[in-house]
Structure 1
Amino acid sequence: MKIYTTAPLEDPRAARRIYKELEDIGYDGGFSFEAKHDPFLALAVAAEHTTTLRLGTAIAIAFARNPMNLANLGYDMQSISAGRFVLGLGSQVRPHIEKRFSSVWSHPAERMREIVLAIKAIWDCWEGRAPLDFEGRFYRHTLMIPAFNPGPNPYGPPPIFTGGFGPKMTAVAGEVSDGFIAHPFNTRRSLLQNTLPALQDGLAKSGRRRTDIEVMCATLVVTADTEEALAASKLAARKQLAFYGSTPAYLPTLAAHGWETLHNELNRLSKAGRWDDMTALIGDDILNEIAVVGERHEIPSKLKTRLEGIADSVSLTHNRSPDPSHWADVVRAMKAGEK
């Protein structure tokens, strides 16, 4: 299993140091995410300070951009990184697309499918495989002149991963993407009951097999060196899970365990701004089902138990309480266990 993580970049200037640290630890890949900073710029810097680490966006917000813009970014990052780039795309939610990015939100699954197909059509043109002639419901790309055609990429086009949670967006990944990024608000049961069947529906629609796509599970890891630090990490995780659990879109994970009433209460409290009360509702049973929790030496085996038979790669994550050493001992133990 490949081991990835997202780099906690409060200061983008740290990219030249953090991604090199991840490579030295033994991670297979280090990803950026779109929050306070652009997700591509840090990776361009990281590419100059690493040699083997896979670099990707997990995720860049697709609907805030257009296929031609994303095609250029992905193509250039693939070249700069010497073939180590992954273009990871996600949809975000409607209020952010419309009110933060002033962009269009509609038919998110269909729009994401079309974005991926349009990017691939643009790359096919640049690779010399076909003229640019993409006409879809949302995007139209039919003009490419030599002045704007970069020509074949020396490393080939990068893979496109798409993130998702619901069955429609998950099926899109199965149909058109090279990889799928599963949301951390999942349990083993919800991945088996909800995610994999939807992914298989998409694969079947395009005539592909499970081996044609990489499934990457972002997994919330809660561990520490001391009891005090572990308690703080658990509290941060409970707050994050309470926020997710209050959101209707994430109800299927709770429903897989018969916890629908928890969602109703979390949603009610969120509307009243009672965040501390929400956190108190995330008991140990829920925390341990969704997150991987334990002493540091326990985490590798618990990750294997959680994801075996489901994922091709895992992304260790806990952005609200990042591990100061980037789970170095966990990664090394997992790597040693594979030998």
Structure 2
Amino acid sequence: LQDKMTALALEVGDGLMVHALWSAAYTRSRLPFISDTLAKYGRKREDIEINAWPWIAVNDDKQKAIDDSRATVAAYSGYKEYEPFFEAIGFGDQARACQLSLGEHGDIGKVIGNVSDEMVEAFVTCGPVDEVLEKIEPFWDVVDSLCPMTPYRDLTMEQLTDYNAGLFKLVATARARAGMVAEPA
């Protein structure tokens, strides 16, 4: 998530696995840092794989996907160590509110009100398959591979199963459009 760990991965690793909080736009904004750091160590972009693990909540009811993702964003924004990241992208006040609330209560359910829809959508791609595919397309300008995952905090096993099924549908649809398999039913 932060520069020091990113630089270490770029110095010694075979690749960079970006944090789930890194959106496509944020990852793209980090390309100059990535390029400069690689050059510092005599490496090139093609020497590494960049892999993203974006949070994705596939649901035809986009507002439900946003609401179901809110606890995951609240939990991560509640970490004091992540405050500089949230501050840099314009959500510092909301992150501090989550930190304060988590410190007082220790219950994510009590802090989700500090996380706006806009904040959720900055970190989680929510909505129906077609909309999600369109929104994650810019990742391919930056990364070599994606490992989409569902937001997970405060979800029931049934909700997790439904969101994981949405990921399978997302991948199947993307593969079908690339001519790799038939379109899912």
Any residues of structure 2 matched to 1:206-217 within 5 Å, and which?
206-217=41-52
For residue 315 of structure 1, what is the aligned residue in structure 2?
147
CA change 1:272–1:169 in 2 (3 A) is: same
Instruction: Name the amino acid aligned to 2:92.
Output: E
Quote the Cα distance in structure 2 between the aligned partners of 1:299 and 1:181.
Answer: 21
Deviation at residue 190 of structure 1 after TM alignment: 2.8
The question of whether the paired residues in 2 share the 8 Å contact of 1:245 and 1:263 is answered with yes
Per-residue CA distance 1:244-294 (angstroms, 9 max, x = gap):
011123224422332211121111111012522311121111111111111
Per the alignment, residue 123 of structure 2 pairs with: 290
C-alpha spacing 1:168/1:314, structure 2 compared with 1 (3 Å): same
Matched, 1:170 2:2: no
- Could you tell me which residue of structure 1 aligns to residue 156 of structure 2? none
Seq. identity, %: 22
How many Å separate the matches in 2 of 1:275 and 1:328? 28
Which residue pairs with 2:155 in the alignment? none
Runs of 5+ consecutive residues of structure 1 not aligned to the other structure: 1-164
Aligned-pair distance for 1:205?
A: 2.4
Larger Rg: 1
Task: Specify the SS of the correspondent of 2:111.
Answer: helix
Deviation sequence 1:39-90 (CA, Å, 0-9, x none): xxxxxxxxxxxxxxxxxxxxxxxxxxxxxxxxxxxxxxxxxxxxxxxxxxxx
How big is the shift at 1:183?
0.8
TM-score scaled by structure 2?
A: 0.80
Which structure 2 residues correspond to residues 15-164 of structure 1 after superposition, within 5 A? none
Highest relative contact order (Cα 8 Å, sep 6+), 1 or 2? 2
Task: Write the letter of the residue equivalent to 1:332.
Answer: A
Pick the aligned partner of 2:113 from 280, 286, 289: 280
Q: Return the structure number with greater strand share.
A: 1
1:254 paired residue number: 86
Contact 1:220 1:291 in 2 (8 A): yes
Alignment partner of 1:331 is 2:171: yes
- How many residue pairs get aligned? The number is 170
**SS where residue 325 of structure 1 aligns?**
helix
Higher helix share: 2
Distance in 1 separating the partners of 2:63 and 2:148: 16
